[in-house]
Amino acid sequence: MIILKTRREIEIMKKAGRLVAQSHELVRKNIKPGVTTKELDRLVDDFLKSQNAIPTFKGYNGFPFSICASVNEEVVHGFPSDRELREGDIISVDIGATFEGYVGDSAKTFLVGEVDEEKKHLVEATKQCFYEGIKYAKASYRLSDISHAIQAYAESQGLSVVRDYVGHGVGKKMHESPQVPNFGKPNKGPRLQEGMVLAIEPMINAGVYNVKVLENNWTVVTVDGKPSAHYEHTVAITDGEPELLTVI
């Protein structure tokens, strides 16, 4: 069942989303060669707790950290560690915050210093995939219209779309119905309605779309070792243009 949100609920979700956006800004300011992903995790954990928010990911199905930190060929669900970021890396940081009972969820991929053109193209195109998708995040379109637009743009850029992981509804829980794939034919699935809130999150690979899970049972990597990028916002369907909730 898809849970429609009232305007009051969406306003609370904007508060949670703003804290996620502020966390991303904190990460952005601190990303540089030599910083460890565990340091970034600690920064976000401390900030969210200082704002009376709960780091949503910590403890979720046993996930032990407050952020997902996925470097280079890591697609999603990377564990923060003592690994130091190096010049030329890219890092996808996924952050969730629960505030006043509602969740905000957003991911961005950051460049570490100077990166090569392949990675730069991947990161920019992944972000644009999101914006191509939300052109269809409006009442009267169908869910897969978003999915199709993301896939079409990614493939037009010579990139591939991860099939194994998808976006989702979000509200009091981090994962609600419906699932939001980043691929598929248009004009399928439920018709979008005012009050739906979706986490739309293209996960795009520079090589093939196939992925595998590492032995920690969480971290997802590309099978060919090529880089991957991730871009996500929590989006409310309104009676007009879509509203991004995970912004400052």
| 78-119 pLDDT tens trace | 999 999 999 999 999 999 999 999 999 999 999 999 999 999
Question: What is the distance between the alpha carbons of residues 164 and 45, in angstroms, rounded to a whole number?
Answer: 28
User: Which residues, in sequence order, are bridge partners of residue 213?
Assistant: 220
Superfamily of chain region 7-244: Creatinase/methionine aminopeptidase superfamily (3.90.230.10)
Q: Which of 79, 138, 107, 123 is nearest to 17 (CA)?
A: 107
Task: Give 155-159's long-range contacts (Cβ < 8 A, gap of 24+).
Answer: 157/121, 157/125, 159/122, 159/125, 159/126, 159/204, 159/205, 159/206
- pTM score: 0.98
Supply the pLDDT for residue 5.
98
Question: What is the structure's pLDDT at 226?
Answer: 98
Q: What is the pLDDT of residues 196-245, one digit of tens each?
A: 999 999 999 999 999 999 999 999 999 999 999 999 999 999 999 999 99
